[in-house]
A and B are shown apart, each in its own frame.
Chain A
Amino acid sequence: MVTAARRERRSSGVQRAEWRDGWLFASPFLLGVLIFWVGPMLYSLYLVTQEWDMLGPPRFVGLGNIRQAIEDPLVWKALGNTAYYTFIGVPLQLAVALLLALALNQAIRGRSIYRTIFYLPSITPAVASAVVWSQMFNADFGVLNNILRMFGFQPVKWLFDPEIAKPAFILMSLWAIGPQMVIFLAGLQNIPAELLEASSLDGAGSWQRFRSITLPLLSPVVFFNLVIGIIGSLQVFTAAFVLTSGGPQNATLFMVLYIYLQGFRQFQMGYAATLAWMLFWIIMFFTFLQFRVANRWVYYETQV
């Protein structure tokens, strides 16, 4: 009896220690959330109502920043550019990544070499790849125009042509799809071979197998790549900043670039914070939307 009571007391002491350690060990993250998320977001809400150049004292402008944003044609231009880059770019990225993954999922020789080649560009520092691509796109001696000339096409002005600049950025983004490809590949390799074999015994062709087995089983991975891809793409910055600074004729003025220019070139901290909040809600909207729509097309094994 005595020992049982003692054990009880000891175990509740152990439990208390575990509670304490749990909170203690998690505290860096909790502090981090307070310092780098909650605090800044609250402060940023305050900034929305202020006009502040970081030199003089901030001045209260109420809803002035929001009104300014709605009336600013460059905001709509930047949002349009960002939407174009994201909603055309991300599906293309996923399609190419999936095609590469399907190819590399075949039992062919040299798979790991191909995988390495397709993956390497994605770890190249963004500035370095922007610098390199400025050369690929060069109108006079760039590699792309060289190839076009070789096949008898007219050279293109790429980043200097407002019509072509955004597609050029999307082309460049296709170069860095390594991670999506590897994620698809892992997803493909998780699909039980028995299922595919059973369906080919039932006489399903390879397209039918892909439509009715591979794609549904892969849909959670597609969903993951889509959500992450859209969140990242809507916040594109470095390539445009390095290559075009938003030109030509603001054709590559993306939203984060515009926020940067307003905040750190014009020193309109209140206005920049307002624009950041706008983009924040746009991204949140599309993320929620995807989760809402997800149960119509994303298939989870646990639902069976």
Chain B
Amino acid sequence: MKTNISEPLRAPAVTEPGASRRSSRRVNLGHLLLHICLIVLGLSFLVPLLWVLVTSLKTAGQVFVVPVEWLPRTPQWSNYREIFEILPLTAFIRNSAIVTVLGTLGSVLSATLVGYSLARLRWPGRDAVFALLIATLMLPGVVTLIPTFILFRSLGWLDTFLPLVVPSWFGGAFYIFLMRQFMQGIPYELEEAARIDGASSIRILFQIIAPLCGPAIATVAIFSFLAHYNDFLGPLLYLSTNEKFTLPLGLFWYQGRYGNSWHLVMAASTVAIAPVIVLFFAAQRYFIRGIAMTGLAGR
């Protein structure tokens, strides 16, 4: 963050370190110990998630049995049918989908546009704008919590999705930063030729540059997806009608109200957690690379 900040991002190599050392085939005592430690730690990281899944398949009575039954004898799949009946869960899913898709779309488009401007167009004031970007990256958002609420309230946006979606269309500093770092690594020759042929900036961006930014776009999309999908404070502040709740807010509301039916709360939690787990396994590569990119971008 201190030096090198304007240098293009080195794509970090995340996979396969020490591949050269793989030749030693004999059983390595150190590695064995390491595996034991990692398995114990790994299990303790998994326990909470397994607990959700297992509890969601129990009857109300089985939940409180001590010691914990880790394999319910007769999985109660009907719990899932039940929560869809007693909760407007379909509406929660739809609301989360709307907010997440519209918010992510806005983040990606605005970050691509602004990132391109900062990475590849030459204009007076650009460096100052980039400095501003870095500054907002580190500003604590808490200071805008109250006034932004009052702003949206005076616009009549309370109990709509607009406060959750519209800000993303103005570009998140972090997403812009990622796009800009990535775009700086693309050779200029590609763009020069098109510019001499008289192509407009917007055409160059969407026909030449953006198609080369797949990994960066995927990273921004994933981070933005997670941020919108997992957001709790936003929906808590702005949504008040039940039918407009997103999944996290709906889950909170439900556990506050029917908190004793833990098997059902856990079934609802499973429904809320499942999409991010699916997303992770579908796009694992981009997750890992994206996070690695953020960390090394500060160098």
Contacts and interface: CB of A to CB of B under 8 A. Distances in A.
A124 B142 contact: no
A238 interface: yes
B42 A28 contact: no
B154 to A, nearest CB: 10
Given A103-B34, A129-B48, A238-B232, A32 B123 contact: no
Contacts of B114: 25-26, 28-29
Contacts of B26: none
Interface stretch (A39-47, A83-91, A157-165): A39-47
Interface residues of A, number: 110
A123 B49 CA distance: 12
Contact of A136 (B18, B48, B149, B295): B48
Q: Chain B interface residue count: which class?
A: 35 or more
13 contacts: A18-B121, A23-B123, A100-B41, A124-B49, A131-B251, A132-B269, A143-B51, A185-B292, A225-B295, A227-B1, A231-B138, A231-B140, A256-B145
Interface of A: 14-15, 17-19, 21-26, 28-33, 35-37, 39-41, 43-44, 47, 54, 100, 103-110, 112, 114-121, 123-129, 131-133, 135-136, 140-141, 143, 146, 150, 175, 179, 182-190, 193, 220-221, 223-225, 227, 231, 234-235, 237-238, 241-242, 255-256, 259-260, 263-264, 269, 272-273, 276-277, 279-280, 283-284, 287, 291, 294-295, 298, 300, 302-303
Interface of B: 1-4, 10, 12-15, 17-22, 31, 34-35, 37-38, 41-42, 45-49, 51-52, 55, 63-68, 110, 113-114, 116-118, 121-126, 129, 132-133, 136, 138-151, 153, 167, 169-171, 173, 176, 195, 200-202, 205, 226, 229-230, 232-233, 236-237, 247-249, 251-252, 255, 262, 265-266, 269, 272-273, 276-277, 279-280, 284, 287-288, 291-292, 294-296, 298-299
Given A21-B123, A231-B140, 17 more contacts: A21-B117, A25-B116, A29-B170, A29-B176, A36-B148, A120-B49, A124-B273, A127-B232, A127-B248, A128-B272, A129-B48, A135-B262, A183-B295, A187-B296, A221-B299, A259-B142, A263-B149
